[in-house]
Amino acid sequence: MVRRIEKDATRFKHIVRSQIRKDLKKYISRGELIGRKGKNLVSIPLPQIDIPHFRYGIKERGGVGQGEGEAGAVIGSDAAGTGPGAGDQPGEHILEVDITLDELAELLGEELQLPNIQPRGASRIVAEKDKYSQIRRTGPESLRHFKRTYKEALKRQIASGTYDPANPIIIPIREDKRYRSWRTTYRPESNAVIIYMMDVSGSMGAEQKEMVRIEAFWIDTWLQHNYKNLERRHIVHDAAAKEVSEDIFYHIRESGGTRISSAYTLCNQLIDERYSPAAWNIYPFHFSDGDNWGSDDTQECVNLLRNSLLKKVNMFCYGQVKSAYGSGKFIKDLQEALGNEENLMMSEINDKEEIVDSIRTFLGKGK
């Protein structure tokens, strides 16, 4: 039965969705959703959905409470979001709605008009899966289908006249027994790996990393939506590269010089070791401020890209965030050398407002 409230609940969801969609660009550039991510849900504050009234601000209002404590004792705080005494006063909590990451990705896709990703070589990568969808007459007792067995026994007993409605005891014999059985199905599987690389040399400041982090959040969300099985690896580099955990990735700060080729070499190595292009969709993302140590190293990067990386990956994305110290030359060099490679995406991110455009550049091709 469809219950009455479903209609209102659907309406509410619709309003939430359109409100989020309207404000999506704001959410993207402010990055405020990152801390609000649970396993599958993001909780989004949407105070503008609430119906406004003439009412007092809670902060100014104060009130009466009950309990222990001397004058001056703290009973709640803004930071913890625990205003006191607001229990039965409606509308004083900030309205937050939870939406799934999948829904968020859909909204992102709709708003930025991102095409669905066509997994590379989807048909080549096949996974087996057993599905219990059949019934057999033989099998292990652990798979016995109780209902079917009972039915068979009942049929037999009625047909043979041994069924007594006054004493309806059903005793199945061996011929009555039915067992669940499986069928193996083959489905194309799509595995993907994102390899994030970031320049952590001295010239990359907190602001630059914040931008990278925001962008990575949305890339994750989108690719997660498109690939069931998504892995993520993180590589940081200055003059040398190493693999780190996600947490360290965003917080580490080194002071050395910059050799981008070190990261590309490590990335290439990772792919060869673990992610065969036949089985994986591979997405390396590299963020730096565009400073590299000498043109020799840049040349080496170009060679690495042209000769190995670009042949293995779905696309290779390079995002150049603006910093006060970086020369921003690297993107120009890449453009010159590899400008006509189809699966090399490049974008410059000068401030947070441009993150949206950068995401569109990276994900807009549907690769």
Nearer to another protein, 93 or 136 (CB): 93
Nearer to another protein, 69 or 140 (CB): 69
Least separation in angstroms between CB 104 and another protein = 17
- The conformation of residue 175, written as its DSSP 8-state character, comes to G
Q: Which positions from 83 to 122 touch another protein by CB under 8 A, shown as an x/- string?
A: xxxxxxx-----x-xx------------------------
Helix (H, G, I), strand (E, B) or coil at 248: helix
Binding residue count for another protein, defined by CB under 8 A: 52
Please tell me the distance from the alpha carbon of residue 250 to that of residue 35, in angstroms, as a whole number.
Answer: 13
> Does residue 49 interact with another protein by CB under 8 A?
yes
At residue 359, φ and ψ (nearest 5 deg) are -60, -40
The only residue of 22, 30, 62, 206 in contact with another protein, by rule CB under 8 A: 62
Buried b (16+ CB within 10 A) or exposed e, 199-228: bbbbbbeeebbebbbbbbbbbbbbbbbbbe
The only residue of 22, 26, 75, 296 in contact with another protein, by rule CB under 8 A: 75
Query: What is the distance, to the nearest Å, from the Cα of residue 277 to the centroid of all Cα atoms in its chain?
Result: 22
Please tell me the distance from the alpha carbon of residue 363 to that of residue 345, in angstroms, as a whole number.
Answer: 9
Q: Which pair of structure tokens corresponds to residue 187?
A: 């489905």
> Does residue 165 interact with another protein by CB under 8 A?
no
Helix (H, G, I), strand (E, B) or coil at 266: helix
Which amino acid is residue 55, in one-letter code? R
Q: Which stretch binds another protein (CB under 8 A): 78-86, 189-197, 202-210, 316-324?
A: 78-86
| Contact of 23 with 356, CB cutoff 8 Å | no
Q: Which pair of structure tokens corresponds to residue 157?
A: 């007993």
Least separation in angstroms between CB 113 and another protein = 25
Please tell me the distance from the alpha carbon of residue 216 to that of residue 224, in angstroms, as a whole number.
Answer: 12
Nearer to another protein, 35 or 67 (CB): 67
> Does residue 231 interact with another protein by CB under 8 A?
no
Please tell me the distance from the alpha carbon of residue 185 to that of residue 179, in angstroms, as a whole number.
Answer: 19
Q: Which stretch binds another protein (CB under 8 A): 48-56, 159-167, 207-215, 315-323?
A: 48-56
- Residues numbered 13 to 32 that lie near another protein (CB under 8 A) are 13-15
> Does residue 81 interact with another protein by CB under 8 A?
no
Nearer to another protein, 22 or 274 (CB): 22
3-state secondary structure 7-41: HHHHHHHHHHHHHHHHHHHHHHHHCCCHHHECCCE
Output the CA angle 301-346-204, nearest 5 degrees: 75
Q: Which stretch binds another protein (CB under 8 A): 30-38, 74-82, 123-131, 302-310?
A: 74-82
| Contact of 206 with 187, CB cutoff 8 Å | no
**Cross-strand bridge partners of residue 181:** 134
> Does residue 56 interact with another protein by CB under 8 A?
yes
Q: Which stretch binds another protein (CB under 8 A): 49-57, 139-147, 184-192, 328-336?
A: 49-57
DSSP H helices in 113-189: 146-159
> Does residue 325 interact with another protein by CB under 8 A?
no
Tell the residue number behind the tokens 């390079």, with chain if given: 318
Least separation in angstroms between CB 33 and another protein = 19
> Does residue 140 interact with another protein by CB under 8 A?
no
> Does residue 72 interact with another protein by CB under 8 A?
yes
> Does residue 2 interact with another protein by CB under 8 A?
no
The only residue of 11, 124, 136, 155 in contact with another protein, by rule CB under 8 A: 11
The only residue of 26, 30, 61, 124 in contact with another protein, by rule CB under 8 A: 61
The only residue of 2, 35, 70, 160 in contact with another protein, by rule CB under 8 A: 70
Q: Which stretch binds another protein (CB under 8 A): 4-12, 206-214, 257-265, 330-338?
A: 4-12
Q: Of 20, 95, 99, which is closest to residue 52 (Cα–Cα)?
A: 95
The only residue of 2, 35, 39, 59 in contact with another protein, by rule CB under 8 A: 59
Q: List contacts with another protein (CB under 8 A).
A: 3-5, 7-15, 49, 51-79, 83-89, 95, 97-98
